[in-house]
Structure 1
Amino acid sequence: MRVAMISMHTSPLQQPGSGDAGGMNVYVLNTARELARQGVEVDIFTRATRPSQGEVVDVEKGLRVINIVAGPYDGLEKEALPTQLAAFAGGVVQFHRCNDVDYDLIHSHYWLSGQVGWLLRDLWEVPLVHTAHTLAAVKNAHRGDDDSPESEARRICEQQLVDNAEVLVVNTQEETLDLIDHYDADPDRIAVVTPGTDTALFTPGTDRNTERSRRLLGIPLDAELVAFVGRLQQFKGPQVLIRATAEMLRRNPERKLRVIICGGASGAATTERQYMNLAAELGVSRRVRFLDPRPPEELVTIYQAADIVAVPSYNESFGLVAMEAQACGTPVVAARVGGLPVAVSEGETGVLVDGHDTGDWADALENLLDDDDTRLRMATDAVQHAANFSWSNSAAQLAAVYAEALSLEVDNCPQRRERAEGL
Structure 2
Amino acid sequence: MLLRIAMLSIHTSPLANPGQTKDAGGMNVYIRELARELAKQNILIDIFTRWTDEQVPQIVQLAPNARVIHIKAGPLAPIHKDELYQYTPTFARHIDEFRRREGNRYDVIHSHYWLSGVAAMRLACTWGIPHITMFHTLARLKQQANPAATEPPLRLEMEQRLIHHVDRIIAATADERTQLMRSCGGTDQQVEVIPCGVDLQLFTPQSKKWAREQLGLPEEQPLLLFAGRLDPFKGPDVLLHAARLMQKKTHVVIVGGQLEGDRDLEQLRHLAEELQLSSRVHFLGARPRAEMPLLYSAVDVTVVPSYHESFGLAAVESLACGTPVVATRAGGLTTVIQHSQTGFLVPRNPGFFAERLDLLLSDPELAARMSAAARSSILKFGWESVASQMRELYEDMVEEGRCLVAL
TM over 0.5: yes
Deviation string 1:55-110 (CA, Å, 9 cap, x unpaired) is 11111111001000112232411111112112211210110111111101100000
Residue 218 of structure 1: CA displacement?
2.5
Residue 410 of structure 1: CA displacement?
3.6
User: Which letter maps to 2:279?
Assistant: R
Unaligned runs of 5+ in 2: none
Distance 1:212 1:411, change over 3 A: closer
Question: Which of these residues, 10, 14, 23, is aligned with residue 12 of structure 2?
Answer: 10
Residue 411 of structure 1: CA displacement?
4.5
Distance 2:223 2:231 in 1: 22
Deviation string 1:379-419 (CA, Å, 9 cap, x unpaired) is 111011122220111000001111121233545446xx8xx
Counterpart of 1:305? 298
Counterpart of 1:91? 94
Is residue 2:395 matched to residue 1:403? yes
- Check conservation: 1:166, 1:408, Cα contact below 8 A: no
Counterpart of 1:421? none
Counterpart of 1:371? 363
For residues 257-296 of structure 1, what are the structure 2 equivalents within 5 Å? 257-264=250-257, 271-296=264-289
For residues 94-113 of structure 1, what are the structure 2 equivalents within 5 Å? 94-113=97-116
Question: Which of these residues, 63, 74, 81, is aligned with residue 77 of structure 2?
Answer: 74
Secondary structure at the residue paired with 1:101?
A: coil
Distance 2:285 2:346 in 1: 27
Residue 359 of structure 1: CA displacement?
1.1
Distance 2:255 2:27 in 1: 17
Distance 1:75 1:395 in 2: 30
Question: Which of these residues, 10, 34, 49, is aligned with residue 31 of structure 1?
Answer: 34
Counterpart of 1:174? 175
When the two structures are aligned, how many residues end up with a matched partner? 402
Distance 1:331 1:144 in 2: 29
User: Which letter maps to 1:127?
Assistant: P
User: Which letter maps to 1:196?
Assistant: G
Distance 1:84 1:282 in 2: 43
Secondary structure at the residue paired with 1:395?
A: helix
Distance 1:330 1:269, change over 3 A: closer
Counterpart of 1:420? none
Counterpart of 1:384? 376
Is residue 2:124 matched to residue 1:121? yes
Secondary structure at the residue paired with 2:270?
A: helix
- RMSD of the alignment, in Å? 1.6
- Check conservation: 1:322, 1:344, Cα contact below 8 A: yes
Secondary structure at the residue paired with 2:84?
A: helix
Question: Which of these residues, 48, 60, 72, is aligned with residue 57 of structure 1?
Answer: 60
- Check conservation: 1:109, 1:132, Cα contact below 8 A: yes
- Check conservation: 1:222, 1:256, Cα contact below 8 A: no
Counterpart of 1:200? 201
User: Which letter maps to 2:381?
Assistant: F
Unaligned runs of 5+ in 1: 418-423
Counterpart of 1:340? 333
- Check conservation: 1:199, 1:386, Cα contact below 8 A: no
Distance 2:403 2:358 in 1: 61
- Check conservation: 1:232, 1:270, Cα contact below 8 A: no
Deviation string 1:183-215 (CA, Å, 9 cap, x unpaired) is 21111111100112111001011xxx3112212
Distance 1:358 1:229 in 2: 17
Distance 1:149 1:410 in 2: 42
Distance 1:219 1:54 in 2: 37
Distance 2:368 2:213 in 1: 21
Distance 1:270 1:140 in 2: 24
Distance 2:14 2:325 in 1: 26
Distance 2:350 2:135 in 1: 31
